[in-house]
């Protein structure tokens, strides 16, 4: 009886191994190969044209403004042609002035340089002209939105006002660097998580 019990247990264990061993004897399967398919990445690009030019209170000062000394009430305008490309399904982007476009020579907090840079950056505005190309929308004075699959060339202007009213003496003799004057075209999430 004991031998028979041991034999039954061994047979049951063998049967379990056959059933539980990956289903080798319990299922069929098949597969089919899909035809060649692929995807391609899109493109987001911003390219500047010839060197941009500056004006001070509508008077041309050329490409080099190192000798300019602004005072409250002045307006500096930078103009440059830019070519943009937003190639891709659901590719949307915004155009803004880069944070490093106006930087203080002396970055110490509370310095005249830092105060002047802050005042000028906070008053800077972007314009792509009165008539915008298709797929481009003005959001506010500092931002433009670009839709998917747009390309073109526009004259971009950055206007920097040094306001007379409300100006304080904490920016007198301040120096800023404008050599980093640049616009950035940055992708936005067209399909945020639901």
Residues 6+ apart with CB under 8 A from 174: 104, 111, 112, 113, 114, 115, 116, 117
3-class SS of residue 116: helix
The 10 Å Cβ neighbour count of residue 63 is 12
Q: How many domains is the chain partitioned into structurally?
A: 1
13 within some domain: no
10 within some domain: no
Per residue in 71-114, pLDDT (tens digit) is: 888 999 999 999 999 998 888 899 998 888 888 888 888 888 89
Is residue 41 pLDDT above 70, yes or no?
yes
106 within some domain: yes
25 within some domain: no
64 within some domain: yes
Q: What is the pTM of this model?
A: 0.72
Per residue in 128-144, pLDDT (tens digit) is: 998 999 999 999 999 99
| First and final C-alpha spacing in the chain | 66
Look-up of token digits 């931002």: 143
1 within some domain: no
33 within some domain: no
Is residue 178 pLDDT above 50, yes or no?
yes
Look-up of token digits 């063998």: 14
24 within some domain: no
User: Which residues constitute the domain of residue 73?
Assistant: 43-188
CB of 123 closer than 8 Å to CB of 162: yes
């Amino acid at each position: 009886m004991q031998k028979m019990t041991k034999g039954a247990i061994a047979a049951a264990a063998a049967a379990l191994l056959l059933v539980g061993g990956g289903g080798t004897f319990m299922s069929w399967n098949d597969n089919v190969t899909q035809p060649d398919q692929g995807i391609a990445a899109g493109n987001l690009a911003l390219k500047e044209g010839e060197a941009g030019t500056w004006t001070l209170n509508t008077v041309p000062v050329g490409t080099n403004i190192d000798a300019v000394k602004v005072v409250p009430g002045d307006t500096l305008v930078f103009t440059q042609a830019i070519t943009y490309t937003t190639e891709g399904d659901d590719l949307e982007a915004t155009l803004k002035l880069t944070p490093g476009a106006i930087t203080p020579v002396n970055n110490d907090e509370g310095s005249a340089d830092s105060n002047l840079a802050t005042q000028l950056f906070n008053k800077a505005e972007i314009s792509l002209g009165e008539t915008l190309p298709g797929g481009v929308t003005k959001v506010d004075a500092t931002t433009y939105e670009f839709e998917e699959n747009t390309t073109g060339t526009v004259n971009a202007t950055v206007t920097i006002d040094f306001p007379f009213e409300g100006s304080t003496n904490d920016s007198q003799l301040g120096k800023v660097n404008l050599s980093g004057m640049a616009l950035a075209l940055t992708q936005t999430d067209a399909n945020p998580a639901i």
